[in-house]
């Protein structure tokens, strides 16, 4: 298997593009592809400050390195964020995650901030496990969304980038079709405009497959965390795990399936959801962020109050 561009030994075959590429030409191909995605979908404008959320895994570390390169061509700034969520359970998962994120911030030379959830908000994800009814991965998602938004603004960013890849997006789309949850599908966006007090959010790798992000990390010797979270070794639970396998098997049979599924969803299907009646938004009495209008306090503040030993009487049960 030789590189189609230079004839030297190829490191990857990209079936849907009918390409085999060496390390150097693959890296160039992926960086150009991400730059094109960023431009085509209006993700970043010159002068923006983009905060990249880095967990230390292959996707987020690849995202950081690629966005740093793209930023030099497109004239925007990149800063890094890592949240130490306090997930340990005998694996030191969060401290390893922070260690690897910091190594990558230093390798790319970006300014960065590490936030320890315990220090800033008084609790860890591990501690929530037996104190709240919500499944731990759902609590963790809520905390990450809230804290990333908060920290990105604190460090002066106006855009927040996360490492969701093409496989993740294909699974989200399939799972939305499967459950028929239109509100969830409507929120599934490559670019969420900053509105209602939230920062603009982008997914620059949403058209880049997991095989591509992993290969990029490996051939560029990017240090990344191989371990998966001890709370969730199979991401998303059994049903979404099976959907992931189904999507990936289909990709093998029909090269380009994931790309068409996700691109068609973003460009041709999701726009129909924009007219869906939205939840009525109210304001959280504690932090001022948007909340469902039937609540006084947003889900994050309710969680924080509970975890810090307070009473939350006016919160809908299940939190
Ligand atoms: Zn080559
Ligand atoms: Zn709040």
- The tens digit of pLDDT for each residue in 89-111 reads 889 999 999 999 999 999 999 99
Gap from CA of 263 to ligand 1 centroid (Å): 28
- Per the listing, tokens 């991400």 go with 34
Task: Please say if the pLDDT value at position 316 is more than 50.
Answer: no
Q: What tokens does 180 get?
A: 């028929």
- Ligand 1 centroid – CA 27 distance (Å): 10
**Does 45 appear as a known binding residue?**
no
Distance CA 220, CA 22 (A): 12
The pLDDT value recorded for residue 78 is 98
Nearest to 306 by CA among 127, 93, 43: 127
pLDDT bucket at 279, cuts 50 / 70 / 90? low
For 230, phi and psi rounded to 5 degrees?
-65, -20
Give me ligand 1 centre to Cα 11, in Å. 9
Ligand-binding annotation for 298, yes or no, is yes
Burial label, 102 (beta-carbon count in 10 A; 0-12, 13-18, 19+): middle
Ligand 2 midpoint to CA 296 (Å):
9
Which CATH code of 3.40.50.460, 3.40.50.620, 3.40.50.300, 3.40.50.720 fits the domain covering 32-278?
3.40.50.620
Whose tokens are 């220090």? That residue is: 119
Cβ-in-10-Å burial (0-12, 13-18, 19+) of 234 comes to exposed
The string of pLDDT tens digits covering residues 30-82 is 999 999 999 999 999 999 999 999 999 999 999 999 999 999 999 999 999 99
CA of 299 to the centre of ligand 2 (A): 7
Closest CA to 175 of 247, 226, 224, 103: 247
Q: How many Å lie between the centroid of ligand 2 and the Cα of residue 284?
A: 5
Which ligand has its closest atom nearest to the C-alpha of 5?
1
Q: Is 229 annotated to bind ligand?
A: no
- The reported pLDDT for the residue numbered 22 is 98
Q: Is 287 annotated as a binding residue?
A: yes
Pairwise CA distance, residues 35 & 219, whole Å: 19
Average pLDDT, the chain: 92
22 annotated to a ligand binding site: yes
Whether the Cβ atoms of residue 61 and residue 100 lie closer than 8 Å to each other: yes
Helices (H), ranges, the chain: 23-40, 58-74, 93-108, 117-121, 125-128, 136-154, 166-179, 182-187, 210-219, 237-253, 257-264, 299-307
Centre of ligand 2 from the C-alpha of residue 300, in Å: 6
- Report the candidate in 300, 258, 273 with the shortest Cα–Cα distance to residue 189: 273
Q: How far apart are CA 134 and CA 192, in angstroms?
A: 25
On the 0-12 / 13-18 / 19+ scale of CB atoms within 10 A, 314 is: exposed
pLDDT of residue 317: 40
Residue 33 pLDDT: 97
For 149-210, give the DSSP string. HHHHHHTT-SEEE----HHHHHHHHHHHHHHT-HHHHHH--SEE---TTPPEEE-TTTTS-H
**From the CB of residue 96, how many other CB atoms can be counted at a distance below 10 Å?**
16
| pLDDT confidence band for 229 (50 / 70 / 90) | confident
137 is in an annotated binding site: no
**Residue 198: is its pLDDT beyond 70?**
yes
pLDDT at position 290: 83
Check residue 233 and give its pLDDT.
58
pLDDT given at position 313:
56
Q: Which two tokens stand for residue 87?
A: 């997930």
User: pLDDT digit string (tens) for 290-311?
Assistant: 887 778 899 999 999 999 988 7
- Output 144 or 275, whichever has higher pLDDT: 144
Q: How far is the CA of 15 from the centre of ligand 1 (A)?
A: 16
Q: Is 1 a residue whose pLDDT tops 70?
A: yes
Residue 314: predicted pLDDT: 46
Is residue 267 pLDDT above 60, yes or no? yes
152 pLDDT more than 70:
yes
Domain residue spans in the chain?
32-278, 281-319
For residue 3, is pLDDT > 50? yes
Once rounded to an integer, what is the mean pLDDT over residues 226-243?
Answer: 75
């Amino acid at each position: 298997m030789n590189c189609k561009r230079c004839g030297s030994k190829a490191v990857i075959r990209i079936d849907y593009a009918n390409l085999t590429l060496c390390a150097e030409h693959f890296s160039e191909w992926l960086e150009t592809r991400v730059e094109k995605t960023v431009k085509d979908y209006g993700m970043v404008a010159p002068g923006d400050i983009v905060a990249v959320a880095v967990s230390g895994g292959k996707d987020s570390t690849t995202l950081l390195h690629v966005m740093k390169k793209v930023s030099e061509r497109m004239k925007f700034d990149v800063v890094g964020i890592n949240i130490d969520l306090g997930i340990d359970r005998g694996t030191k998962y969060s401290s390893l995650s922070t260690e690897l994120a910091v190594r990558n911030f230093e390798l790319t030379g970006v300014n960065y901030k590490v936030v320890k959830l315990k220090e800033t908000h008084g609790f860890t994800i591990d501690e929530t496990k037996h104190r709240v009814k919500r499944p731990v991965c759902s609590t963790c998602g809520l905390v990450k969304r809230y804290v990333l938004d908060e920290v990105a603004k604190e460090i002066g960013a106006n855009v927040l980038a996360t490492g969701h890849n093409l496989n993740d997006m294909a699974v989200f789309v399939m799972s939305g079709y499967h459950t028929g949850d239109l509100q969830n599908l409507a929120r599934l966006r490559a670019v969420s405009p900053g509105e209602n007090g939230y920062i603009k959010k982008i997914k620059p790798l949403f058209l880049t497959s997991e095989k591509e992000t992993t290969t990029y990390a490996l051939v560029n010797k990017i240090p990344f965390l191989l371990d998966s979270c001890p709370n969730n070794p199979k991401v998303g639970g059994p049903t979404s795990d099976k959907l992931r396998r189904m999507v990936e098997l289909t990709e093998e049979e029909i090269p380009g399936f994931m790309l068409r599924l996700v691109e068609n969803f973003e460009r041709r299907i999701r726009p129909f959801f924009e007219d869906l009646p939205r939840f009525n938004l109210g304001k959280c009495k504690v932090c001022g962020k948007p909340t469902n209008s039937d609540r006084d306090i947003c889900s994050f503040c309710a969680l924080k109050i509970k975890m810090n030993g307070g009473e939350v009487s006016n919160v809908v049960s299940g939190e």
